[in-house]
Amino acid sequence: MSPLLFFIAGFGAITGAVGVVVLRDPFYSVLALVFHLISLAVLFLLLRAEFVAAVQVVVYAGAVMVLYVFVVAYVGEESESLGERLRGNGSHPPAVGSGLRRAGAILGGALLVELLIALLGTGLTAIDGYGAGYEPGLGGGPHQFGTPAYIGQLLLTRFLLAFEVASFLLLIAAVGGVVLARRRGGLGEEDERDMLTPLDLLRPLGTGTTAEGVGGVLRPVQGRLEGAPRSRPSLPDAGSRRPR
């Protein structure tokens, strides 16, 4: 049973990987990657890493891939296939680095050969074994290899520092992602900026909120106070700095 499952899952993983590389549409590439990740999770299960397999399916194939799908749907278009690029007769003018690309593929093949030599020709005799013994049976105590309890105990004792550093890294990445993808020029969205609060009528222009300080609110307010005498110099308008 185990060899059969291994061949099915291994074939699925490799097929999915090939699909990611050669498929024309990025959306299909994402779907191929999901297939690849799920096949890989089966391999993880065969290696008795149940918790990692569950994380792989839930976090990777679930959450991260949804993020990809959203960005592909947002950015869209721009599809190209590997074969087209290798021949250099795609929709684009003859590829700048068509030869380079072919060289890249050859380099990848060489890398594969080298890795296989390094991995399979190694002196490690344990590679030909089926792995170290482990405690069979159900229950899932902290001493049973690969269970959530086992991983949790390791993470909170021996690898506590790595755990904390990883969480901090995630926090930094989340902040970085928001900063990178935010809308330039102004704090809020369009409608938020157009909103006129009672406070706007009570106080003079340009003395108000942070949003005004960076140039967000001023324009609609000015538009609304068209008839009023404009004694104050108008601040530089953020509207012109918004993306084209």
Partner 1 sequence: MTIGWYLAVSAIVFSLGAVGVMTRRNPLVVLLCLELMLNGANLALIAFSRMWGNGDGQILAIVVMTVAACEVCIGLGMIVALYRRQLPIDVDELRELQG
Say whether residue 149 binds partner 1 (CB under 8 A).
no
Say whether residue 87 binds partner 1 (CB under 8 A).
no
User: Which range of residues in 171-179, 193-201, 203-211, 214-222 is near partner 1 by CB under 8 A?
Assistant: 171-179
Q: Encoding tokens for residue 69?
A: 């799908």
Query: In this chain, which of 54, 60, 200, 220 binds partner 1, going by CB under 8 A?
Result: 60
Q: Which of residues 202-231 bind partner 1 (CB under 8 A)?
A: none
Give every CB contact of residue 153 below 8 A, 6+ residues apart in sequence: 142
Query: In this chain, which of 62, 73, 99, 183 binds partner 1, going by CB under 8 A?
Result: 183
Residues in the chain: 244
- Residue 115: CB minimum distance to partner 1, A: 4
Minimal CA–CA distance to 86: which of 182, 22, 39, 160?
Answer: 22
CB atoms within 10 A of CB 107: 11
Of 216 and 221, CB closest to partner 1: 216
- Residue 212: CB minimum distance to partner 1, A: 23
CA distances from 207 to 108, 169, 189, 222, 241 (A): 61, 38, 21, 13, 21
Say whether residue 186 binds partner 1 (CB under 8 A).
no
